[in-house]
Amino acid sequence: MTVNAGDTVTWTAVTDLACGDLVVNGSLTADGASFTNVGSVIIGSTGSMSAAGTTFNVNNGWSNSGSFSGAGSTVVADSACSNTSTTFTGNTPFANLRANIAGHTLNFAPGSEQTVSGQLALDGVTLLGQGGTAYLTLLPGGTQTIATVGVNDVNASRGQHLAPTAVNVITGPAVNWFSAGPKPPVVIAQPVPVTGPWGLALMAGLLMAAAHRTRRQSRKSPHGRTESE
């Protein structure tokens, strides 16, 4: 489905794109619509889309070089087109963003930022910054449901701390994600007991050693040499 530059289209239907792309180079108002089995959503530099309350099941990717507004909309990263990853390029303000297919990968273009104002739901997926740091920002007031995810070079420092009680299932930089890890144990010095036979014997030995050292020091000659005992 393509909206050409200069065209203005209003679309409210439930539409199965059969893994074809939704390309917007003109103006598309799709409030309340539903797009399933979308290959990629591509909003060109001359394109604008209004999608209040709209649902998108996107497979291959989401690319935004134009304008997108989608209050109450939901974008689901899917794998219905024989794909194992979904790629996000450009900067998009999402309302709700979901990905819950085990083993699926979300790729983010370096320098891009995806913001989420509603619900961010991630389960069993891997998030990768492709060739540089990308940003995923959950805005104040947004909610998160995140479990069993791996993150490499996707930075969350511009918004809420993500998955604060979880751990990264892969190795890689994950700024403002996950638990800080267990704190090192605090070592508390224990007093040496002086009661009981062992404690008294230890104390007596220490006192005898101190007395012997004092006696040897007091017997030094005026020239600094110790006299023989």
Give, in degrees to the nearest 5, the angle at Cα 78 between 72 and 79: 170
Please check whether residue 65 is in contact with residue 90, taking contact to mean a CB–CB distance below 8 angstroms: yes
Please provide the average confidence, as pLDDT, over all residues in the chain. 89
Give, in degrees to the nearest 5, the angle at Cα 115 between 29 and 48: 25
Arithmetic mean of pLDDT, 49-57: 98
3-state SS assignment for residue 200: helix
The secondary structure element, H or E, covering residue 93 is: strand 92-94
pLDDT at 92: 98
User: How far is Cα 204 from Cα 63, in angstroms, rounded to an integer?
Assistant: 81
Q: What are phi and psi of 196, to 5 degrees?
A: 85, 160
pLDDT digits (tens, 9 = 90+) for 85-116: 999 999 999 999 999 999 999 999 999 999 99
Percentage of the chain exceeding pLDDT 70? 79
pTM score over 0.85: no
Q: Per-domain residue ranges for the chain?
A: 2-155, 189-229
pLDDT digits (tens, 9 = 90+) for 205-227: 666 766 666 565 555 544 545 44
pLDDT at 62: 99
Please check whether residue 119 is in contact with residue 141, taking contact to mean a CB–CB distance below 8 angstroms: no
Cα dihedral: 159, 95, 66, 152 (round 10): 50
